[in-house]
Amino acid sequence: MSDTEFGMQGTDIRNGVAVGIVADNEDPEGLGRVKLTFPWRESDDESHWARVATPMAGDEVGTYFLPNVDDEVLVAFDSGDLNHPYVLGSLWNGDQPPPEDNADGENTVKTIKSDSDHKITLDDDDSAGKVEITTSGGHTLTLDDSSGAETITIEDSSGQNTIEFDATKGSIAIESGTKLSVDAPNLEFTADGNISIEASGILTLNGTLVRIN
């Protein structure tokens, strides 16, 4: 879009901030910019490419959360010039509500949630705090700081296969719904106390040489 189409430098000024809608986020230069439309302009009158403010940005480092097309964003303009917009952040609205609702007023839950429902949850509850990573398929990693619990749990979507680290008991538990396999060139098991091997069926030991001492 030319300057004439969107307002010439110095002739199209808007002070303060404005609400815009993301019209395009496929930046041809790969700089993480977006194009915008504004309520006071024609719906097909897109802005110039707008840079997106982010908590951290550097040479191929930083946080990367690019707004989606049709997302509502808050926009500021360099010296009020509409030809140089900057996206300050994204806005929720009646059609695009937040992923949490703070229904209890405690505001203990912080969340990052993607379009496909991958989710990171930070729960700051004093008695049941935890950090949880959940995939859209239902796999979870939970770091639980609940009073008396203090566990790290990895669980698949079926709920049948889990690994749990229990800081309170000083134990690690591995459970599988059907089979548990350990494969390595060499395996070594050492215990300061007893080792118990128990099977409800047949117990088989195979090897070129089996030594029992």
156: which 2 tokens?
């698949």
- The answer, yes or no, to whether residue 1 has pLDDT greater than 50, is no
pLDDT recorded at residue 8: 39
Is the four-CA dihedral 133, 137, 139, 144 of positive or negative sign? positive
pLDDT value for 177: 94
- pLDDT mean over 130-143: 97
pLDDT at 180: 94
CB 109 within 8 A of CB 100: yes
Q: What is the pLDDT of residue 152?
A: 97
Do you know the residue count of the chain?
Answer: 213
Give the tens place of pLDDT for each residue, 33-52.
Answer: 999 999 888 777 899 999 99
Q: How far apart are CA 18 and CA 75, in angstroms?
A: 5
The answer to whether the CB of 111 falls within 8 A of the CB of 99 is: yes
Q: Which residue has the tokens 């993301």?
A: 22
Fold of 3-91: OB fold (Dihydrolipoamide Acetyltransferase, E2P) (2.40.50)
Band of the pLDDT at 6, cuts 50, 70, 90?
low
Cα distance between residue 89 and residue 72, in whole Å: 9
Residue 130 pairs in a beta bridge with 123, 144
For residue 175, give the amino acid letter.
Answer: E
What separation in angstroms does the CA of 202 have from each of 114, 197, 205?
Answer: 48, 12, 10
The whole-angstrom separation of Cα 207 and Cα 82 is 77
Residue of 113, 141, 107, 143 lying closest to 125 (CA atoms): 107
Asked if residues 1 and 12 have their Cβ atoms less than 8 Å apart, the reply is no
pLDDT in tens, 156-206: 999 999 999 999 999 999 999 999 999 999 999 999 999 999 999 999 989
84 in Cβ contact with 13 (< 8 Å): no
Listing DSSP states for 58-87 in one string gives: -SS-B---PPPTT-EEEEEEGGGBTTSEEE
Mean pLDDT of the chain: 91
Confidence of residue 11 (pLDDT cuts 50, 70, 90): low
Q: Does pLDDT of 5 surpass 50?
A: no
For the chain, the structural domain boundaries read 3-91, 109-175
Count of C-beta atoms within a 10 Å radius of residue 175: 12
What is the reported pTM?
0.83
pLDDT top residue among 94 and 12: 94
CA distance 89 to 92: 10
CA angle 162, 109, 137 (to 5 degrees): 40
What's the confidence (pLDDT) of residue 42?
Answer: 78
Mean pLDDT of 67-87: 96
On the question of pLDDT at 72 being above 90, the answer is: yes
